[in-house]
Amino acid sequence: ATPAATMVGTTIGAKHGILFKGGDVLERVRDVDTVVFDKTGTLTKGEMHLTDAVVVSPTTDGSGDVDSDAVRADGAGASAAVESDVDERLLLEVAAAAESGSEHPIAEAVVAGAKKRDIDVSDPVAFQNVAGQGVRARIDRGTALVGKPDLMREYDVDPDPAADTMTDLESEGKTAMLVALDDELLGVLAVADEVKDSAKEAVSTLRGRGVSVFMLTGDNERTARAVAERVGIDADNVRAEVMPDEKADEVESIQDDGRRVMMVGDGVNDAPALAAAFVGTALGSGTDVAIEAADVTLMRDDPVDVIRAMRVSEGTLSKIK
Ligand code: ADP
Ligand code: MG
């Protein structure tokens, strides 16, 4: 494209909050045939809220809802919870103290949920973010773990007593996480996130244009599929439980089939995948690292702007030919 055409395209894009990093990017966008969306914060609002707190005893699996005032009085799970020293408030207190060291949307939801229930949230004494897994923190009460089953196993906590509870919550599209204190499993928390209003429209418009749509997430398979179904992405095109350092490999493997991939993401953990993709697209609300790694930034955080970016790219080229 001529410098003038590039200038026009860049200007039109900017008017819609679509920032292209240079003329070659503007030209590349029209050749994209596959769009890979990150889930959390990209297809979903990334505004998670706490939905469930379930105390799990080592022998009996429980099930309960955090919105109810007391531990449920029916069923075996409830009686186990009543006998236990652990209650929902301790579960929340431990998790919130550990998560207050993290800026992850999950962490923010846990902290906000605890505060909403008048639980004092203390700062962790020491804190470690385990990418794609959760957090480990030294808090007043001991050493806390919040995150996936694999994180528990890594520190010799058996996640199995909570397996059924996890499955139930994940089937509802919630992200469930385990909470442990000093090697003891306390229970399960779940957070939920709404899909963005335009996510479904973006997916169907892309597919209507013959563009394949994938979803890539560090979240578990069950939650990922539930969300994919809501936005109209085929279960076959869902890549779940992808660790942050594997996201770029996953994009490359999709590109190995000869596809020209636009990766759309917002997080630090998306940055390598954004760099690896034919076109990397970051959301304006995303982390600086993601924006730096990306070729395009969508300032409005709207998945539909992916299509607008394609139209700008096409328009620019057709005008100069
Ligand atoms: P995504 O790819 O969906 O943006 P991440 O890679 O950031 O998600 O996280 C993947 C998974 O790791 C989350 O779904 C959650 O199960 C777990 N996880 C990450 N950070 C935390 C945290 N601070 N607390 C609990 N779980 C976490
Ligand atoms: Mg994300």
Catalytic residues: 38
What phi and psi, each to the nearest 5 degrees, are found at residue 292?
Answer: -65, -35
Residue whose CA is closest, atom 13 of ligand 1? 219
133 lines ligand 1 (CB under 6 A): yes
101 lines ligand 1 (CB under 6 A): no
For tokens 């607008």, the residue is 308
267 lines ligand 1 (CB under 6 A): yes
With cut-offs at 50, 70 and 90, classify the pLDDT of residue 80.
very low
108 lines ligand 1 (CB under 6 A): no
Fold of the 3-45+195-320 domain: Rossmann fold (3.40.50)
With cut-offs at 50, 70 and 90, classify the pLDDT of residue 317.
low
Distance, in Å, from the CA atom of 140 to the CA atom of 158, rounded to the nearest integer, reads: 23
Distance, in Å, from the CA atom of 321 to the CA atom of 315, rounded to the nearest integer, reads: 10
- The CATH H-level superfamily of 49-192 is Calcium-transporting ATPase, cytoplasmic domain N (3.40.1110.10)
Average pLDDT over residues 106-116: 96
pLDDT in tens, 264-313: 999 888 999 999 999 999 999 988 999 999 999 999 999 999 999 999 99
Distance, in Å, from the CA atom of 321 to the CA atom of 313, rounded to the nearest integer, reads: 13
CA distances to 13, 34, 82 from 318, rounded to whole Å, are 15, 21, 69
Model pLDDT, residue 74: 38
Tell how far the Cα of 23 is from the centroid of ligand 2, in angstroms.
27
What atom of ligand 1 comes closest to residue 176's alpha carbon? 16
Percent of the chain with pLDDT over 90: 78
ipTM computed for the complex: 0.95
Model pLDDT, residue 286: 87
Residue whose CA is closest, atom 18 of ligand 1? 134
- The conformation of residue 132, written as its DSSP 8-state character, comes to T
Q: Strand order of the sheet with strand 34-38?
A: 18-20, 296-298, 279-283, 261-265, 34-38, 212-216, 238-239
For residue 28, how far is the Cα from the chain centroid?
A: 27
132 lines ligand 1 (CB under 6 A): yes
102 lines ligand 1 (CB under 6 A): yes
Task: Decide if 10 contacts 288 (C-beta within 8 A).
Answer: no
Q: Where are the domains of the chain?
A: 3-45+195-320, 49-192
With cut-offs at 50, 70 and 90, classify the pLDDT of residue 13.
very high
pLDDT in tens, 16-70: 999 999 889 999 999 999 999 999 999 999 889 999 999 997 654 444 444 433 3
What atom of ligand 1 comes closest to residue 107's alpha carbon? 23
Give the torsion through C-alpha atoms of 99, 103, 109, 113, to 10 deg.
50
Tell how far the Cα of 286 is from the centroid of ligand 2, in angstroms.
8
Tell how far the Cα of 311 is from the centroid of ligand 2, in angstroms.
25
Indicate the range of 11-20, 64-73, 201-210, 213-222 predicted with least confidence. Answer: 64-73
What atom of ligand 1 comes closest to residue 220's alpha carbon? 14
Tell how far the Cα of 119 is from the centroid of ligand 2, in angstroms.
28
Tell how far the Cα of 134 is from the centroid of ligand 1, in angstroms.
6
